[in-house]
């Protein structure tokens, strides 16, 4: 099972940059999309269906043009869970899950901490999603939590490890990722690429992408019971529909 996660920074903009042709070439079984910045009625959904993804699910923020997640699937899931039931998360459209027989896949868009108010919102979200997933794992042990976590975990995950005062690399944020992993998840990319430095996001400023001055903000976190199924995990920096790039995990399930 090939699962891709991609923060597209606006699905309508990505479509104009050749997203559909790329999707057909990448050929995932499931693709988790973050920051669609759209409601499904604003899209021509037949484009995704004709590309081989007849099962597509959209969970959008109340505010139009903001946040929002989606999942496109080749095969119909057994169940789709829109949101978490926690209002502080769900009004911004940040969590969507599809359940199959052997694995459940969530598209998650963790907030950024661009200012003090949003950092407080982010920290609250981090606490709430951890508790939510602690409970969910009791019901559904085989989970893959894909998405833009908006945090670099270790120094290898950022081009400049001295940026400890910037949200996304704050000690409190990095410690949370560590606890998240300790709660029963595997950072699939780091599990199979122990010493490899690779990034999934680059600022649009200062020619950062061309100079590969990036951050690894996107993860496919795989729950411990699925550890033996992780066969490949990699990043696709050549895909350029966004300031992020796609990440991939392949599971033998």
Query: Catalytic positions, please?
Result: 148
pLDDT at 61: 98
| 0.85 exceeded by pTM | yes
Angle between helices 171-182 and 116-139 (to 10 degrees): 0
What's the topology of domain 2-251?
A: Deoxyribonuclease I; Chain A (3.60.10)
Is residue 3 a contact partner of residue 146, using CB atoms and an 8 Å limit?
yes
pLDDT band at 214 (very low <50, low <70, confident <90, very high): very high
pLDDT at 139: 98
- Residues of the chain with pLDDT > 70, as a percent, come to 100
Mean pLDDT of 93-104: 98
DSSP 2-65: EEEEEE-S-HHHHHHTTHHHHHHHH--SEEEEE---S-GGGS-THHHHHTT--EEEEE--SSTT
User: What residue ranges do the domains of the chain occupy?
Assistant: 2-251
Mean pLDDT of 240-250: 98
Mean pLDDT of 11-17: 98
Task: Determine the Cα–Cα distance for residues 91 and 144; give it in Å rounded to an integer.
Answer: 23
- For tokens 């490899």, the residue is 196
Mean pLDDT of 176-199: 98
Angstrom distances, CA of residue 106 to CA of 97, 98, 163, 193, 210: 4, 6, 30, 23, 31
**Arithmetic mean of pLDDT over the chain:** 98
pLDDT at 177: 98
- Which residues on neighbouring strands pair with residue 158, listed in sequence order? 215
120-173 per-position pLDDT tens digit: 999 999 999 999 999 999 999 999 999 999 999 999 999 999 999 999 999 999
Spatial neighbors of 22 by CB under 8 A, at least 6 apart, are: 239, 241
């Amino acid at each position: 099972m090939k699962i891709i996660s991609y923060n597209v920074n606006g699905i309508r903009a990505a479509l104009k940059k050749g997203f559909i042709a790329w999707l057909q070439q990448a050929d995932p079984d499931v693709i988790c999309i973050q920051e669609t910045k759209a409601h499904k009625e604003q899209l021509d959904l037949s484009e995704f269906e004709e590309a081989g993804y007849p099962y597509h699910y959209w969970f959008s923020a109340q505010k139009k043009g903001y946040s929002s997640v989606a999942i496109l699937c080749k095969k119909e899931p057994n169940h789709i869970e829109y949101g978490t039931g926690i209002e502080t998360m769900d009004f911004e459209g940040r969590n969507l899950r599809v359940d199959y027989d052997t694995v459940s896949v969530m598209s998650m868009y963790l907030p950024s901490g661009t200012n003090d108010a949003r950092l407080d919102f982010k920290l609250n979200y981090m606490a709430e999603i951890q508790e939510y997933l602690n409970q969910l794992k009791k019901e559904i042990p085989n989970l893959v939590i894909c998405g833009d976590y908006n945090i670099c975990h270790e120094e290898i995950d950022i081009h400049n490890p001295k940026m400890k005062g910037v949200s996304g690399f704050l000690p409190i944020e990095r410690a949370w990722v560590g606890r998240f992993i300790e709660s029963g998840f595997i950072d699939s990319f780091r599990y199979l690429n122990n010493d490899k430095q690779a990034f999934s996001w680059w600022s649009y400023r200062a020619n950062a992408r061309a100079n590969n001055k990036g951050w690894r903000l996107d993860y496919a976190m795989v729950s411990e019971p699925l550890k033996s199924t992780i066969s490949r995990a990699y990043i696709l920096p050549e895909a350029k529909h966004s300031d992020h790039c796609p990440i991939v995990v392949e599971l033998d399930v």
